[in-house]
Structure 1
Amino acid sequence: MLGMAQLGDLERAVLGCLWQAPGPQTVREVQESLARERKLAYTTVMTTLQRLARKGLVEQDAQSRAHRFSAVATREEMFAELMTDALGIAGDDHQVMLRFVDVISPKAREVLAETLDRREREAD
């Protein structure tokens, strides 16, 4: 999957709209959602959605007259994959994880610790 850092600002905004939506969205629905922040032409939004589809981040349902688009992965799934990719290229993944734990919030560290403890217990 393509990293968020490799996406343009508009592509990230469009993905954000799809993630927040309760279901697949038409081009018009995405355009209206984005209108709160910026005024964009319908064709600009359509081109952006098609570009995201070519990159494998969005899928297009062409069954109805108005094509509907949805993100292929949730925001959490996408960022987990990005983190996994980063660990894969970091070299010493143990040191990277230790540094990560040092920089996350105390609440995030607590959630991480609880999750790891629960997974350990489930594995036994």
Structure 2
Amino acid sequence: MKPLAALLAQGQSPWLDYIRRSLLTHGDLARMVNTDGITGVTINPTIFEKAIVGSTDYDAALKGLLAREPHLSAAELYERLAIEDVTMAADILRPVYDRTKGADGFVSLEVAPGLAHNTPGTSRKRADS
């Protein structure tokens, strides 16, 4: 039995603690969900930065964003790209969410450190996105 299948058999919910645009656009995350049993994804700024800097996955998206909105700050660029990736990952995980009646199938995006202990600010930021 594969390790992830063994975890699933024990009632565990394996999540992927990594994201990269090509995982979403080339079918890799869908394969991990459908054949390996991944039931969720976490995204944090450090992982996301490594994915952006360490690949060409985001080059076209960054160029497009900057062409349309050249005034965007680095934080705003991060937010736009992260929201795109979260949306794509959530779409891929939707069948897991439906199958488990909402027990699994989530994408977790770490909030900015300045909002970590600010519940109203975090809620406002979530609502603005």
What TM-score, normalized to structure 2? Answer: 0.29
Higher relative contact order (CA 8 A, sep 6+): 2
What TM-score, normalized to structure 1? Answer: 0.30
